[in-house]
Amino acid sequence: MMNPTIPDDLLAKIAKKMADKCWWDLQPLLRSGTRGRDIVYRLDVLKGANIFSKCDDPDDYQVDGSHHPSAPQGEGRHRAFFKRCVDAGNPTAMYFEALRVLTHERDIKGAINLLRPHVSSQAHATLACAILFIIDGNDYMGAMFLNLFGRNHYPLGTKVIRDLCEEFLEDLKKFRPPYNNTYGSTFSYPNSHGIQTPDCALLCYIVSGPFKNVCNSCYLWWCARRVSQML
């Protein structure tokens, strides 16, 4: 039984520490009763909760339990908790919810809106936004977000960018995208505001064929192309 003499604010600090380590550690508090549940569901607790392990399998937390757009609608076993994290502004939850909206609802602007609150502070959200603007034909905003990424996170054209792009592609694959090349006709890589298509992009693309052994300089360009093909 929870100690009634512990003030709510102190209990919330304890919950935050637990949530920072792993969301699963909140389970005993969540099941302890109404007070424990209310503490766990505080916005400040959910916003900072470490839910990476929860987001490994879309079956567990998405609207459609099979995470396939044509399947009957249902809810994953952790959807309710995940949605609370989205509503609280948890950056991990909003990132993966954006991927669901992008792949299942075919709503690229809705996905961008979910990512934008964490642009600048979160590298993954900033890079994903830039790529989505590029494939949606908004090269101006694509350039703005790539500049934000370069200023706040890592230089473009480096191995770090390659690693982050590969993570983005792997995260997207979990949602079984349709591979319809929906944005092939609108793809527009920026050539302004200090951003330009790498000189080697087309040559590397031709030489690499279906593989991803393009160089670091043009890997971001290749990644954006690949995302447009996957959606």
Q: Are residues 146 and 213 in the same domain?
A: yes
Residues 163 and 77 in one domain: yes
On the question of pLDDT at 7 being above 80, the answer is no
Long-range CB pairs of 64-67 (<8 Å, 24+ gap) are: 64/104, 67/100, 67/104, 67/174, 67/175, 67/176
Asked if residue 63 and residue 25 are part of one domain, the reply reads no
Residue 153 and residue 98 share a domain: yes
Same domain, 105 and 173: yes
* 77 lies in the same domain as 146: yes
Which of 27-41, 57-71, 196-210 shows the lowest per-residue confidence on average (mean pLDDT)? 57-71
Same domain, 26 and 136: no
On whether both 73 and 183 belong to a single domain, the answer is: yes
Residues 45 and 85 in one domain: no
Among candidate residues 13, 33, 50, the one where a domain is terminated = 50
- Is 147 found in the same domain as 85? yes
State yes or no: pLDDT of 58 exceeds 60.
Answer: yes
Beta-carbon contacts of 109 under 8 Å, excluding residues fewer than 6 positions away, are 136
Residue 143 pLDDT: 96
Confidence of residue 125 (pLDDT cuts 50, 70, 90): very high
Boundaries of domain holding 26: 1-50
| 129 and 96 within one domain | yes
Question: Do 129 and 161 fall within a single domain?
Answer: yes
222 and 212 in contact (C-beta within 8 Å)? yes
Average pLDDT score over the chain: 83
Instruction: Provide the total of helices (H) and of strands (E) in the chain, helices listed first.
Output: 12, 0
Sequence-separated (6 or more) residues with CB below 8 Å from residue 106: 182, 231
Q: How many domains does the chain have?
A: 2
pLDDT at residue 72, as a whole number: 45
The band of 21, judged by pLDDT with boundaries at 50, 70 and 90, is low
